[in-house]
């Protein structure tokens, strides 16, 4: 007998949003502390190297974010069938270990040429970044289960544990061993959070799991994968290209400015986290979902406007407080960077809504925007101002690209459809 689906009323959505917002806001504050303390412990030019390597880890872990969204969608479809859910979670465990090991070893193998490309004299730093990448992939995969089963408390705490561990370990080890220590502390933070997240998902591994094949899901997830990749690539790629094209001092200042922009993006991350399972479930019930999108966009837009206004007046005091007076030159970068990240946060919300509704027509326009933005920086990169101008225009176009699927006919994907069927 099929159990009734959980309610999706406004009160439940608000409760989930409140829990996720509180947890991710705490994690965001700790992320500020993490980057600020690392910048203080290693200095301006080494921080540029550290920032570039962290960006490499985040970009290369983007496929895991794709998997997280797919896992969350599948988990939400199977939440009322514990045996099939257990089968899914066991399959995720196997894929996670393989993907994490393969990605980490690949980055380690590429340490010498990548260090040369980024003008890093110590290839061991890239090797340590490979360890960080493995931990990040494990963590991201497992969070998909927590998100899809609406364990938002555990999901939020997983983020807090990650950023808290990194904020504690990376600066301390940075004082001891410079950039090597900071990267090693980052890797340890990912590992600690991955252990907690694995334990939090343990209840879903109990019972007799039904074998789950991910092959058919992988074939039908290409559009979702490309969309998530484009969004996260646009958020992260500029830090790597800044290390490639700008001088060491400017790269350090640019990294400090990107800290504030990505913190804004992370602060709004709770919105799509809650939006995906709620919109997917309502779409499967043939209920209206547009009001969910409107609420999500209003909340995010208010945060973006408030952040732009705040940094317009207090850019220099904030950047000095977060780092040191040596980073004062990053203040002029803040407002355009905050605007660009705000546009990407809104684009992420719209894209997540479209994915939940099965509307994937926006993916090709979004991919074209991503390619065009990177090409523009490769051609025009004389100064940080060139980077910022490209980001402001390109990220705005990304929002419009994500919105191209709004209003098209819906095609919700549910567990009953062939691509999600468990043999």
Residue 419 counted as domain residue:
no
Q: What is the pLDDT of residue 74?
A: 78
Q: Rounded to two decimals, what is the model's pTM?
A: 0.69
Instruction: Provide DSSP, 213-257.
Output: --HHHHHH-HHHHHHHHHHHHHHHHHHHHHHHHS-HHHHHHHHHH
CA distance 208 to 327: 56
Residue 1 counted as domain residue:
no
Range of the domain at 396: 10-408
Q: What is the pLDDT of residue 208?
A: 66
Residue 150 counted as domain residue:
yes
CA 22 to chain centre: 17
Q: What is the pLDDT of residue 139?
A: 92
Residue 5 counted as domain residue:
no
pLDDT along the chain (423 residues), means of 10: 45 72 84 88 87 88 81 76 81 88 92 88 91 93 86 90 95 92 95 93 74 60 82 87 87 84 83 79 75 90 94 87 81 92 94 85 93 93 90 95 78 40 33
Q: What is the pLDDT of residue 390?
A: 94
Q: Which residue has the tokens 């109990």?
A: 206
Instruction: Provide DSSP, 148-211.
Output: HTT-HHHHHHHHHHHHHHHHHHHHHHHHHHHHHHHHHHHHHHHHHHHHHHHHHTGGGG-S-PPP
Spatial neighbors of 114 by CB under 8 A, at least 6 apart, are 56, 107, 120, 126
Residues in the chain: 423
Work out the end-to-end distance of the chain between its first and last CA atoms, rounded to an integer number of angstroms: 20
Provide the number of structural domains found in the chain.
1
Q: What is the pLDDT of residue 126?
A: 92
Q: What angle do CA 6, 12, 16 make, to 5 degrees?
A: 110
Of the candidates 279, 315, 296, 308, the residue with the CA atom closest to the CA atom of residue 413: 279
Residue 422 counted as domain residue:
no
């Amino acid at each position: 007998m099929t159990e009734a689906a959980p309610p999706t009323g406004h009160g439940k959505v608000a409760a989930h949003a409140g829990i996720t917002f509180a947890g991710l806001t705490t994690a965001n504050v700790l992320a500020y502390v993490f980057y600020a303390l690392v910048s203080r412990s290693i200095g301006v030019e080494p921080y540029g190297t550290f920032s570039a390597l962290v960006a490499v880890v985040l970009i290369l872990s983007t496929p895991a974010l794709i998997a997280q969204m797919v896992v969350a969608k599948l988990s939400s479809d199977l939440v009322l069938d514990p045996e099939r859910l257990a089968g899914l979670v066991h399959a995720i465990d196997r894929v996670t270990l393989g993907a994490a090991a393969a990605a980490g070893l690949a980055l380690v193998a590429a340490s010498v040429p990548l260090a040369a490309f980024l003008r890093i004299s110590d290839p061991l730093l890239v090797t340590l970044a490979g360890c960080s990448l493995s931990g990040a992939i494990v963590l991201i995969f497992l969070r998909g289960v927590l998100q899809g089963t609406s364990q938002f408390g555990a999901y939020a705490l997983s983020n807090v544990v990650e950023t808290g561990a990194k904020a504690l370990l990376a600066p301390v080890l940075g004082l001891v061993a410079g950039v090597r220590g900071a990267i090693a502390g980052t890797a340890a933070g990912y590992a600690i959070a991955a252990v907690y997240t694995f334990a939090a998902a343990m209840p879903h591994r109990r019972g007799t799991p039904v074998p789950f094949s991910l092959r058919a899901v992988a074939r039908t997830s290409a559009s979702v994968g490309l969309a998530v990749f484009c969004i996260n690539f646009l958020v992260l790629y500029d830090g790597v290209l800044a290390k490639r094209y700008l001088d060491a001092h400017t790269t350090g200042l640019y990294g400090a400015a990107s800290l504030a922009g990505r913190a804004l993006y992370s602060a709004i991350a709770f919105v799509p986290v809650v939006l995906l399972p709620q919109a997917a479930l309502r779409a499967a019930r043939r209920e209206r979902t547009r009001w969910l999108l409107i609420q999500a966009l209003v909340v995010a837009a208010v945060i973006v406007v408030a952040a732009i206004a705040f940094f317009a007046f207090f850019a220099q005091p904030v950047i000095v407080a977060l780092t040191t007076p040596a980073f004062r030159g990053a203040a002029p970068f803040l407002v355009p960077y905050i605007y660009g990240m705000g546009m990407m946060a809104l684009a992420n919300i719209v894209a997540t809504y479209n994915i939940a509704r099965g509307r994937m027509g926006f993916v090709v326009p979004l991919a074209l925007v991503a390619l065009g933005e990177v090409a523009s920086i490769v051609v025009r990169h004389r100064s940080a101002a060139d980077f910022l101008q490209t980001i402001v225009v390109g990220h705005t176009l990304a929002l419009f690209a994500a919105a191209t699927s709004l209003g098209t006919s819906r095609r919700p994907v549910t567990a009953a459809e062939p691509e999600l069927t468990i043999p």
